[in-house]
Structure formats: C-alpha cells, structure tokens
Amino acid sequence: MWRIWLIFDPRRTLVAVCTFAFLMVMLNHFIQLSTPRYNSWLNAPVAAKAAQK
C-alpha cells in the first residue's frame, strides 16, 4: 500500500477525492430537488392553495 503513495501525492489525491465526493453529493441533491416528491417546499404556495380546497 505504501508504494501507491510513492506514485500519487497524498494531498492531491485527498483534494481530488473530496472534490469528486462534493460534486456527487451536489448532483444528487439537485436531482432529488428536481423530482416532484422532494421539491414540495419550492412550490409551497401552490400546495397550500390545493390543500385549502
């Protein structure tokens, strides 16, 4: 395992992994917010009017 760190710089690798993970998390959140089930808070006035009827 230690030979891998001779090839890859640990700081660059950690930054790359964290950046990739952050981008995947943000992509996942935006995909979920684009679905009708999870974006109800964005359409709250419309949902509130529908609930009053």
Q: Is the pLDDT of residue 48 over 70?
A: no
pLDDT digits 0-9 by tens, 7-42:
999 999 999 999 999 999 999 999 888 887 776 666
Between 47 and 32, whose confidence is greater?
32
CA angle, 28 then 34 then 40, to 5° = 115
Tokens standing for residue 14: 């950690």
Are 47 and 38 a contacting pair, CB within 8 Å?
no
pLDDT score of 28: 94
Tokens standing for residue 33: 């917010």
Dist. CA 32–CA 45, nearest whole Å: 20
pLDDT score of 46: 58
pLDDT score of 32: 86
pLDDT score of 27: 96
